[in-house]
Each structure stands twice: as C-alpha cells, then as structure tokens.
Structure 1
Amino acid sequence: MPHDRPNLANLPVTRRELLCRSGMGFGALALGSLMTDSGVFTRPASADDSVRSSLAPKSPPMAPRAKRVIHLFMNGGPSQVDTFDPKPMLSRYAGKELPTENLRTERRTGAALGSPFKFKKHGESGIEVSELFSNVAECIDDICVIRSMQADVPNHEPSLMLMNCGDARLPRPSVGSWVLYGLGTENQNLPGFVVLCPGGYPIAESSNWKSAFLPGIYQGTHIDSNHTSLDKLIEYIKNDRLATPAQRAQLDLLSKLNQQHLERRQRDSELEARIQSFELAFRMQSEAADAFDVSQEPEHVRQRYGEGVHGRQLLIARRLLERGVRYLQVYHGNGQPWDNHDDIEQGHRRLAGQCDRPIAALLKDLKERGMLDETLVIWGGEFGRTPTVELPTPGANAGKMNGRDHNHYGFTMWLAGGGVKGGYVHGATDEFGFKAVENPVHIHDLHATMLALLGFDHEQFTYRYAGRDFRLTDVHGRIVHDIIA
C-alpha cells in the first residue's frame, strides 16, 4: 500500500475514496465526469487551485449594470393593496362579495376588505404609495415598482424556497450562493454572502441561504442582528486564550495538515469549505469589528437611520456593502412577521413603522455615496395578500374579520438602483388586486433579470451536478427588459 494513503483498517472510507480504490479507479473517473463544472463560468479544478481563489473577484461574461445586491425581505407577505398597489374599487365593494369569484388561497376568504390606509402620489413620476411608506415614497423616482409578481402556491415554506432558491420543493443553491459562485467577493476578510435576521431564523431556517450542491464556501453566513455586541453578533469571533501571532502559527500548522489531507481526498469540496471557514474566521477578527461598529458613523447618519434594530441592521448593511460584501439579505425578523391574517391595519402599521425610515435612509445613503447605481436593491415578501377578508377558522385568526390570507396570484415587489428604471411601474393586477393581468412577472423572471443586471445569461450560467447542468432558473425564466434602464 502506498505510504501516503491512509490505512483502511484504521480510517473510515468515504464514498469518493471507495470509488478511487475500486475497479482500478474507473468508478472515480465516472464520478469526475459527472462532477465537472459546466457553463459560462467554470471554476478552476487544478491541483494547485488555492482555497482562497474560489472567492476571488471574477468578471461576469457580459457587461454588468450591478456589482452587488441587497435583498430587503419582508418575510410573511406584505399586502400589495395596502402598500404599493392602490385599489379604489376595494373601498366601493367593502363588505360585499366581489363581482368575480374569489381565487382559491390557503384559507377561505369572504367579502372585499378595503384598505385602511391612504395612498398619495409622490415624486415627478406621480407613483401612488401608501401612507405606510411615506419615507420610502420620497425615493420613488429611484424605484421600479413591479405590481404583477407571481409565485406558485399560497404557502410560506415553498414560496420562500422559490424566492430564495429558485425551486419550491427540491434542495437547490440559494440566489446569494449563485451570485457568489459567479462573481466571488471583493473582500476576503468578510463573508461574501451575509444574512441579517434579527431574533433568530425565518421559516425554513438556513435552507434559505444554503449552497446545496455548490461548494460549501458559497453558502450564506447568518447573523442575528438583534444583538449589539460583536461577540454575540458573530459567535466565537474572538479567541480569548491566544494572541493573534499564536493564532496565526496554529492556523498555519493546521493549514499544512489540512492541505495534505485535502490532496489525498481529491480536493473534497466539503473539506475545502472547512479550511476556508477557519481562515475567514481569523481574518474577520479585525475587519468584522470595524464593519459592525455603527458607533463610528457620524451622529447625523445614525439619526437618519433611526434607533432600533432595523435602523441599526440597515446601517450595518450599508457598511458591509461598502466593504465589498457581494450579496446581502436582510429579513424583517424571525418567523414570518408580515403574516397578518388578522388585524391588517394594526399589524402592517406597526411593521412598516419599524422599517420605512431605515429603508429610505439606506436608499438615500447609497445614492449620496455614489453606490446606488451599482447596487441592486430588492424589496418584497414571498407573496402578497388577498384583497378579500380571511374568514375565521378554528385556531387561526381568533374570529376576527379584518385580516388577509396569502396571495400568490398577484403581488408587488420593487427594485432600485443596479440598472433598473426609476420612477417606473411595471405590470398590473386586476381592479381588486387579486391576480396579475398585465405583464405578469414570475419569480423565475425576476431571477433571470437579476442575473442579467449582474452580467450573466441565466440560460448559460450553470453548474454541472449529477450529470446535469443546473441553473438558478431551472428550465424557466425570461428577462424583463422593460424594467432595465
């Protein structure tokens, strides 16, 4: 037995090693042909490919309009007819059955429920926005409102997976993982894909930012932005027992051992990701302390974002984008806070009150710093809500008649910066806001358009896995050219 190969009697054998050692290695040759990357962007796979190069900045095949993305996720599903899609007909039919049949959603719905919020035209574009987002409305001329979004089903888990991973059922890489795989990151001392979610996890938890069959180094890094101290924001960021030189020496020794281990295992991607995580954690000790310390910001900047977790996490988000983080996702909170099945007025007013000012501050801040043109900002939930009232069901909405059910047939999202048209409305729902009837935009179309703005053809941007070329949009998607400036 070769000297550098582990003893089978003492060590567990991975499936990959078994293929290498069986049948003169022909099984490994077959596996290698299945696992080879494919597509417009192909990651180097030579033996001297360093761990760090996998995250190095890369140029997309086409001229990009955006170089970074921030997704403001209003998880739970905000109501389009109470935020950015005014429907006066709802007030006329309030308390009455719609003249058209109610579409089937997760729960039974009844009569029309008029919006309790007033809409007003804003900016030179004259786009109508609800009083809930009066601060964001000040930026409406920089915003492209898509009023004809569509998903597949009216359920949280599959809709979150569709929005975040491009597939509602099967394990797939998240959007952020695809972007990081294609573009790398501009800062090797911070994660290239960061997820801020105060209070814990959203529905489906870490599945929302997984890398699936992409190498593990492309998965998102979750941070509970509810905390204020660095030690709690990022666990184990500091080593209280070893000084920096001693940590570096320890990591250098560990790196040599890991590299030898890696070479004997055909440069296994999971081991490669583990090595990268050690190195990144070490480098983050100084960089992260600076990035997350909002006290370094001038008082007037902190005042603009406002106090509270949402002001703080969006200010952190801007600082991370400024430092080269490629893809940033910001959730409103753990679970599904925007899921207002009852008391839409009280629930939406409270939630919008928490994030309206900080979101507007972020847009203005990015624009003033000359970053908005190259930063694609996305706002929205996994679906919208019904224009009809949700009927009481046992254990659901406590018998109240002032909430809305989930609605995937037609809802609103908006984009800003990153090459999209500002002061523009795309598509429309019917006169009651139930279903997209003009220029519908499916989630797959949104993903295709996002990739186009980042410089990728969504049909060619692929990764070969298990004998098939996979892509974010699967076999779907079309670029929505009308929203591109």
Structure 2
Amino acid sequence: MCHHHDILRSSDQEMQQEEKKIDRRQFLTRTSLGLGAAALGSLFGADKLFARNSGLPPVGSGGLPGLPHHLPKAKRVIYLFMSGGPSQFETFDYKPALSDMFGKELPASVRGEQRLTGMSAQQSSLPIAPSAYKFDQYGESRAWVSELMPHTAEVVDDLCFIKSMQTEQINHDPAITFFQTGHQLPGRPSIGSWVSYGLGSSNENLPTFIVLNSKNAGGQPIYSRLWGNGFLPTQHQGVQFRSGKEPVLFLNNPENYDGEDRAEMLKYLKQLNEIQHSAYGDPEILGRIAQYEMSYRMQTSVPEITDMSDEPDHMFDMYGEDSRDSGTYAANCLMARRLLEKGVKFVQLYHRGWDQHNYLPGGIRNQCKNTDQATAALIKDLKQRGMLEDTLVIWGGEFGRTVYSQGKLTPDNYGRDHHPRCFTMWMAGAGVKPGFTYGATDDFSYNVTENPVHVHDFHATLLHLLGVNHEKLVFKHQGRRFRLTDVGGHVVKDILA
C-alpha cells in the first residue's frame, strides 16, 4: 500500500503542474463549477462541493430544460418486448370465420400487392391455417383472449388492446431495430435513451434505463445496440442486468482492491478528465465522468436491488415458480417492479422465442406458459401498490404472423410467417383507457380495417404519456435534427384516458 500511495502522490504532483498550464479562472469555471463536478458531486458529497443554493441541478435529476412539455400521466415505463413476433391468431385477435376455411388458398384480393418473405415466396400455395386454440371473452370489457393466456384473461379490464398495429419491416433485425429506435438501420438512439436524455433520472444510485433479457429463451438473437444511445451522450445508454453473481459486468472491484482505493482512483481520474475537458471541450468527457460516478454508486445499489431475499413467498407464488430462478422472464418481471420502486424510469424486458415458422401450436403454448402468469402478476402487483396509475406497461413484438401456413399444414400442426401489416399489442396503466380495444382487422387478420397505428404513432403516444411532445424532443447530429419518430408519427388520442 505504501508503494500505491507513493504513486498517487507522484500523480498528484504531476497533475498540479498540468493545471498550471491552464488559465486559473478558466480552469475553475470549467471544472470546479462545471458539469463534470456536478456529475461527480454525489460521489464525494455534493454538499461539500456546492453551496446549498448554487442553482445547479440536484444529483439524480438532469433532463432538458422545459421538459416535460405538459403534465405527464406516466412517471415510468416497463416495456415487455416479445421478440420474434407473437401470433395474433393464437393470442388476442379472434377470427372465428377461419374455422370453415382450413386449407383453402388465401384469396389474392386479400393479399393484394403485399410482399412476402423469402421463405413464403418459395411456396406454391398459401393455405389458410385456423388457430388450434379456443377463445373466450373475459371481464366487463368482454375482451377476446386465447385459452393459452388464462392469467392475462384475468386482467383484461386493465389493458388497452391495439389490434391495428402495423410496420414496414418484414424481417427480424430491421423490424426490432425499427421498434426500438424509430429507424430500421442501426445507429439511432433507443427509446429508453431518448427518455433518459429528455427527462433525466429519478434516482441517483441506479441508471435511468435498465435492460433485462430472459435467459435460455432461444430464438432470434438480441443485440446490445437495441438499447444503445446512438448519437446521444453515452450516459443515456441502457445498462443490462444479467443473472448470476455479476449482474452488471466490470462493476466489482478487482481482487485485493477495496472501495477506498476505488474512490481515490476516481478522484484523480476525475481531475484528469476535467483537465482534458477544459482543454478540448468534448462533452463525451463529461459523460465519462458521470458513468464512472454511477458505477461507483452501483457497487452498493446493484447487490441490494438484485437480492430477492426480502420478497415474501406469496409474491413468488403470484409471479410463478420461475420467479425464484434469476434471469427467467418471471424473475425479470419481479425485478422490473423492484427497479421501478427504486426510481428507475425505463425498464426494457426482452423475451425471445416467438418466431414460430414451424410447429407453432406447441411452440406458442410453451411461450405463453413461460410468460402469461408473470405478465399478469406484474399488472396485479403494480395495481395493488398503487403504481399502475403512473406506470405505463407495454406488451408486444416487432410484427405479427400470417394467416396462411408456412410449410406443411395439418389440423394440429402448422407454422406462420412474418406479417407486418397488422398485429396486436397492448398497453396498460398511466393515461391509457383500461378495458378498451382499439382498431380492427379483416377476417384474415391480413389488413387493418379500422384505425391503423404505425410504429411512429406508438412512439409518439408513448412520449406523450411521459409528458413529451415527440416533435420537440430533438438532437442535432451531423447537421440534421433527429427525433425518435423521425419525420412521422401522431398521438393516438382515442386510447388516452
């Protein structure tokens, strides 16, 4: 340790010499009273660095001046993303007329000029496949729900179904990217990053935007750029929590390196970064300071939030037995509620495996079994805690599935290809009409017949519920003003409570 402190003293002397190269007034203005010091303030005690009425934003706030633009209905969001494209035919879009059309060719007038994927385009026919599962109506809203989702059926009066969703992307990668960033090509900021950038944080010990990915789910891969910050400052990127002993990578101290060492190292690193920022004015340096600060505080907050031992048995029973197994969808739903309680603003869950091109009846049965109880439990849990009224919960995938079977069709076995023209999502909680169904599709669930909702409309509505005008949340990059909704989108006012 003596050698360690000798090195630090030597570094301190070198730093003092470096500081002398910068004009004293400029140095004080850009560092001691600058954003860098504000970002790192809570690490060493903000009250020691700033006067009580300094006018600087308190740690854990931030966001853009003037936001929110209007009174928000939602303070926080949980987005349950069902990656792969859940079939609307086996979940929520009941089509009884299809029962008499088994094996018949999809009429050309229904398909029109809509393109097919490379998989369906190779088929000589497009035989209609009615759902193998029964539907019934539930709740006062009399919403149709498949027998595969008995738990979701219990909460339909809290849900707002949108049966007329549509997108332009027919393949997984661009479709998921489009839903998560507003553009089909990689490089744009994700929804959670936009929310973090615009509205700032509601806590000082955890990130504003956290991602949970179900383990062992299979299916199409999920990539970290889906929760990336794109061209926004790096502190707004999503932070993935993993199952196991190290929920956040590289957060723990190295062996034989304690918290006191980390604090001292960060102190000197902060000073070096502030000198660098004073010399070059690169805002990314301030983002780096903020991330180091957050990682230091997360060394305490993450083990606390991921320790589920304080959850009572009846809570695990409500979410399902899988909720005791860290990293499962059920455990992630329970974790999401805990994160919201700690002030996390945007929680994104990814659950893969909904891409059933073959053997759909068995595959979707398993998917529903793994997700239905925990999804409904999350709604019930938030409601009983009084949190649903200001929490927006979203469920859905990147597109729907085709009415025709991909591959061989038998009465108890079939597959469905990707279908972007119409599919079902639901929202619940803050600011949306409960027990409400919006939009409609034709008898083949192939075309929207009433109230189409585009992905940009979905994004505009999500931001509106958070108090943000989607046309005013912009960021200038490479000479252009970008926004989540690109150059489209309108708020779907008919679903607002």
TM-score by length of 1: 0.85
Q: Does 1:274 align with 2:260?
A: no
- Tell me the residue number matched to 1:345: 361
Cα offset for 1:55? 5.7
Please tell me whether the aligned partners of residues 55 and 181 of structure 1 are also in contact (alpha carbons under 8 angstroms).
no
2: CA distance, partners of 1:456 / 1:234? 30
1: CA distance, partners of 2:305 / 2:381? 16
- Tell me the residue number matched to 1:206: 224
- Tell me the residue number matched to 1:324: 343
- Tell me the residue number matched to 2:236: 218
- The verdict on how the C-alpha distance between 1:160 and 1:300 changes in structure 2, with shifts beyond 3 A counting, is same
Amino acid at match of 1:445: D
Cα offset for 1:57? 4.8
- 1:459-474 matches, within 5 Å, as 459-474=471-486
Moved more, 159-168 or 98-107: 98-107
Cα offset for 1:434? 1.1
- Tell me the residue number matched to 2:249: 235
Q: Does 1:190 align with 2:206?
A: yes
Amino acid at match of 2:443: E
2: CA distance, partners of 1:290 / 1:209? 24
Q: Does 1:312 align with 2:331?
A: yes
Amino acid at match of 1:64: P
**What do the CA deviations read for 1:144-202 (whole angstroms, capped 9, x no partner)?**
00000000021001101110000012521111100011111111211111111133896
- Tell me the residue number matched to 1:41: none
1:111 match: secondary structure = coil
2: CA distance, partners of 1:46 / 1:412? 52
Please tell me whether the aligned partners of residues 205 and 301 of structure 2 are also in contact (alpha carbons under 8 angstroms).
yes
**What do the CA deviations read for 1:265-300 (whole angstroms, capped 9, x no partner)?**
20x233323222221111011111111111211111
Q: Does 1:257 align with 2:272?
A: yes
Cα offset for 1:432? 1.2
Match of residue 479, structure 1, among 488, 491, 496: 491
Amino acid at match of 1:328: V
2:89 match: secondary structure = helix
- 1:389-428 matches, within 5 Å, as 389-391=405-407, 402-428=414-440
Aligned pairs, how many?
433
2: CA distance, partners of 1:254 / 1:431? 63
Cα offset for 1:245? 2.5
Q: Which residues of structure 2 form unaligned runs of 5+? A: 1-16, 22-29, 40-56, 323-327
2: CA distance, partners of 1:401 / 1:346? 8
1: CA distance, partners of 2:193 / 2:349? 15
- 1:36-75 matches, within 5 Å, as 48-50=34-36, 52=39, 56-58=61-63, 59-75=67-83
Match of residue 182, structure 2, among 154, 158, 166: 166
Please tell me whether the aligned partners of residues 449 and 480 of structure 1 are also in contact (alpha carbons under 8 angstroms).
yes
Please tell me whether the aligned partners of residues 176 and 327 of structure 1 are also in contact (alpha carbons under 8 angstroms).
yes
2:264 match: secondary structure = helix
2: CA distance, partners of 1:285 / 1:362? 27
Amino acid at match of 2:395: W
Please tell me whether the aligned partners of residues 157 and 203 of structure 1 are also in contact (alpha carbons under 8 angstroms).
no
2:380 match: secondary structure = helix
- Tell me the residue number matched to 1:87: 95
1:132 match: secondary structure = coil
Match of residue 124, structure 1, among 140, 145, 156: 140
Q: Does 1:370 align with 2:386?
A: yes
Please tell me whether the aligned partners of residues 444 and 473 of structure 1 are also in contact (alpha carbons under 8 angstroms).
yes
2: CA distance, partners of 1:461 / 1:384? 29
Q: CA RMSD in A?
A: 2.4
Please tell me whether the aligned partners of residues 448 and 479 of structure 1 are also in contact (alpha carbons under 8 angstroms).
yes
Amino acid at match of 2:229: S
Match of residue 260, structure 2, among 242, 245, 248: 245
Q: Which residues of structure 1 form unaligned runs of 5+? A: 8-43
Amino acid at match of 2:106: L
- 1:101-180 matches, within 5 Å, as 101-102=110-111, 103-106=114-117, 107-108=119-120, 110-169=126-185, 171-180=187-196
2: CA distance, partners of 1:330 / 1:156? 17
Please tell me whether the aligned partners of residues 156 and 203 of structure 1 are also in contact (alpha carbons under 8 angstroms).
no
2: CA distance, partners of 1:82 / 1:6? 70
Match of residue 296, structure 1, among 294, 299, 310: 310
1:446 match: secondary structure = helix
Moved more, 199-208 or 286-295: 199-208
1:377 match: secondary structure = strand
- Tell me the residue number matched to 2:371: 355
Cα offset for 1:379? 0.3
Moved more, 105-114 or 416-425: 105-114
Please tell me whether the aligned partners of residues 358 and 407 of structure 2 are also in contact (alpha carbons under 8 angstroms).
no
Cα offset for 1:204? 5.7
Cα offset for 1:466? 1.9
1:379 match: secondary structure = strand
1: CA distance, partners of 2:289 / 2:31? 16
1:330 match: secondary structure = strand
2:317 match: secondary structure = helix
Once the two structures are aligned, what percentage of the paired residues are identical? 43
**What do the CA deviations read for 1:385-404 (whole angstroms, capped 9, x no partner)?**
00110136xxxx9xx96100
1:196 match: secondary structure = strand
- Tell me the residue number matched to 1:286: 300
2: CA distance, partners of 1:274 / 1:83? 44
**What do the CA deviations read for 1:368-396 (whole angstroms, capped 9, x no partner)?**
1111111110000000100110136xxxx
Moved more, 169-178 or 316-325: 169-178
